Amino acid sequence: MRTKEFGIERLDIVRDIFIFCCYTGLTFIDVYNLRPEHITEDAHGRKWIHKQRQKTEVEFFVPLLEYPLQLIEKYRNHPMCWANKTVFPVYANQKMNSYLKEIADFCGIKKHLTMHTARYTFATTITLANNVKLENVSKMLGHTNTRMTLHYAHIMNESLAQEMNKVAAIIGE
């Protein structure tokens, strides 16, 4: 999906925002309200998102990897971003999810994609599967405690068990 060229601007935009959320764990409303002043730089020159979650008003920090930084730069001069003083030209959530369905069709993805799928991907595939500590994932997601984050870890464990069941069936275990 990341490298797919659609030739349709709205789909390119939605794909980019979805992938940005996969790399940062932002919810729809938090990426919708993301402003340039939420992008900060630490003493070592690393860029971060520093913001409060819209839903809970819990402060969160997410370090920005190279690809999300490239996406921010890509939309720096987009007219919708200038008009709204935002980082991305985000459509309404219903439209985003509808366009994600189109994107999935174009890419041959069978999974039902929504903006929340991006947050789930960040929590499981980007962080927990790469041994980021649960406490740190919790902070980046803006959860008030790690119990909320454990939900993602349990889902990931169930997914791992299902995958190993497939392996067992293949090798005759």
Q: Can you give the CATH number for the domain in which 25 is found?
A: 1.10.443.10
pTM over 0.85: no
| Domain-embedded: residue 84 | yes
| Domain-embedded: residue 2 | no
Helix axes of 146-171 and 134-141: crossing angle, nearest 10 degrees: 120
pLDDT at position 158, please?
61
Residue 156 neighbours by CB distance under 10 Å = 17
| Domain-embedded: residue 112 | yes
Q: Which domain holds residue 79?
A: 9-171
- Of 49, 53, 57, 59, which is closest to residue 87 (Cα–Cα)? 49
pLDDT at position 173, please?
67
| Domain-embedded: residue 118 | yes
Give the count of domains, the chain: 1
| Domain-embedded: residue 4 | no
pLDDT at position 154, please?
60
pLDDT at position 54, please?
85
With 80 as the cut, is the pLDDT of residue 99 above it?
yes
- Kindly list the distances between the CA atom of residue 93 and the CA atoms of 11, 136, 170, in Å, as whole numbers in the listed order: 14, 27, 41
Determine contact, residues 64/48, Cβ cutoff 8 Å. Answer: yes
| Domain-embedded: residue 81 | yes
Which residue, chain included where needed, has tokens 């980021």? 132
Which residue, chain included where needed, has tokens 């959860």? 143
* 50/30 Cα distance (integer angstroms): 11
With 90 as the cut, is the pLDDT of residue 128 above it?
no
| Domain-embedded: residue 1 | no
Least confident of 16-25, 30-39, 80-89, 137-146: 137-146
**Residue 23: pLDDT band with limits 50, 70, 90:** very high
With 70 as the cut, is the pLDDT of residue 106 above it?
yes
Helices (H), the chain: 9-24, 28-32, 66-74, 79-84, 93-107, 115-121, 134-141, 146-171
User: What φ, ψ does residue 135 adopt, rounded to 5°?
Assistant: -60, -40
| Domain-embedded: residue 155 | yes
Residue 95 or residue 57, greater confidence: 95
